[in-house]
Amino acid sequence: MVSPCATPPRRSFAPEPAGLDAPFASDSGTACREEENMTAPHTRTALVLGATGGIGGETAAALARHGWTIRALSRGGKPAHDSSGWEWVQGDSMDRDSIVRAAQGVQAIMHAVNPPGYRGWSQLVLPMIENTVEAARVSGARILLPGTIYNYGQDAYPVLREDSPQRATTHKGKVRIALEQKLEEAAREGVRSLILRFGDFFGPNPGNSWFSQGMVRPGQPLRSVTYPGKPGVGHTWAYLPDAGEAFARVLERDADLDTFARFHFQGYWDADGTGMVETIRRVVGNPRLPVRPLPWFVFRVAAPFNETMRELYAVRPLWEHSIELDNTRLVAFLGAEPHTPWDEAMGTTLRGLGCLTTPEGGTRSAV
């Protein structure tokens, strides 16, 4: 369970008790066509692109908890053994007509899709968002987009704010800038959007993430942790259930949002690159759990021949510089940032990934 609490100015990795929800703060803003989309809670519908992924799935779950009906788009339709109770529709984010059809009658569209294995990522990302923009234009829905820190260069480090200059030096970052510019341009024509920017994700159902694909081995008890960063370099982490809850809470105040709205989510700030590892050690009960550096040279060697490895190696600079997200605007708007205590979040994550051992010697995974 997510246990939100009032957000302090900065957080460090240490055990803490679960907190209580803080009241929402008041704020003001403008929204386009808000009366058309202000429906009763039980009639609100969100189309989720990427519902089988980490942030897409957690946002869908959070919206459902807040009374939204979930319509999930998937190339294969409803997944086998699905028990979510969501409506699954068949479609492809590269097929504009299928996106527009799926968005009929919805009030929000969660855009959380990437090409499988990141193949053709730089060529496909912008057409994908253009299709979502057209669907939002026709339906009047607000687009929800999880933002990244790729957009920024060293001139904006170490603390990133909503108005920090976006001057990425990597190809991946420049594409992400262009993607957000598509939303900003569409806002001038009345298409509403919300960008929530996060650090690296972790959680029990993470999809593609550094944590689950690089730091630990799902389905195996932890014998060591592989860490991509350097000691002394800070890093920002976001627990996926908290991230999804943040989207749902902000959307509860849709009428108070600007047409083009952006917020930064602080999550867990690991000030020196050791906090995440120490949290893992506490949760597994092994203070001497070995930590190994990520072999970046493997990515560098494979990059010319493998697109996925090339895209991963391109973000190495983000692990070489301290980067923190300032959530002042988000806290002012909501009154609190959703926040699960670190050890609780890590325990849920490792159980979900099947990395915690049972007394019988097996591994535990979330049901």
pLDDT tens-place values along the chain, 367 residues long? 434 444 444 554 544 333 323 322 333 333 333 333 444 445 899 999 999 999 999 999 999 999 999 999 988 778 877 878 999 999 999 999 999 999 999 999 999 998 766 667 778 899 999 999 999 999 999 999 999 999 999 999 999 999 999 999 888 899 999 999 999 999 999 999 999 999 999 999 988 888 988 899 999 999 999 999 988 999 999 999 999 999 999 999 999 999 999 999 999 999 999 999 999 999 999 999 999 999 888 888 888 888 778 877 888 888 999 999 999 999 999 999 999 999 999 999 999 999 986 544 444 443 3
Type of residue at 130:
E
CA gyration radius, the chain: 20
User: Cα(14)–Cα(233) distance, rounded to whole angstroms?
Assistant: 18
Q: Is the CB of residue 336 less than 8 Å from the CB of residue 22?
A: yes
Other Cβ atoms less than 10 A from the Cβ of 298: the count is 11
pLDDT of residue 117: 61
**Helix segments in 103-256, DSSP class H:** 121-139, 171-187, 210, 240-252
Q: Between β-strands 363-364 and 356-357, what pairing exists: parallel, antiparallel or unpaired? A: antiparallel
User: Cα(356)–Cα(352) distance, rounded to whole angstroms?
Assistant: 9
Q: Is the CB of residue 160 less than 8 Å from the CB of residue 323?
A: yes
pLDDT of residue 3: 41
Global pTM? 0.85
Tokens of 217: 């081995």
User: Cα(171)–Cα(44) distance, rounded to whole angstroms?
Assistant: 38
Look at residue 325 and give its three-state secondary structure: strand
User: Cα(263)–Cα(327) distance, rounded to whole angstroms?
Assistant: 7
pLDDT of residue 245: 98
141 secondary structure, DSSP code: P
Other Cβ atoms less than 10 A from the Cβ of 1: the count is 7
Helix axes 240-252, 54-65, angle to 10 degrees: 50
Q: Which residues contact 294 (CB under 8 A, 6 or more apart)?
A: 214, 226, 227, 228
Q: What is the C-alpha end-to-end distance of the chain, expressed in Å?
A: 14
Give the sign of the dihedral formed by CA 63, CA 68, CA 72, CA 78. Answer: positive
| Beta strand spans in the chain (E) | 45-49, 69-74, 87-90, 108-111, 142-147, 159-160, 193-197, 200-202, 225-227, 235-239, 260-264, 268-270, 291-293, 324-325, 356-357, 363-364
pLDDT of residue 358: 54
Structural domains present in the chain? 34-350 (3.40.50.720)
Q: Which residues of 226-254 are buried (b: 16+ CB within 10 A; e: fewer)?
A: ebbbeeebbbbbbbbbbbbbbbbbbbbeb
pLDDT of residue 80: 75
Q: Is the CB of residue 62 less than 8 Å from the CB of residue 245?
A: yes
User: Cα(170)–Cα(303) distance, rounded to whole angstroms?
Assistant: 14
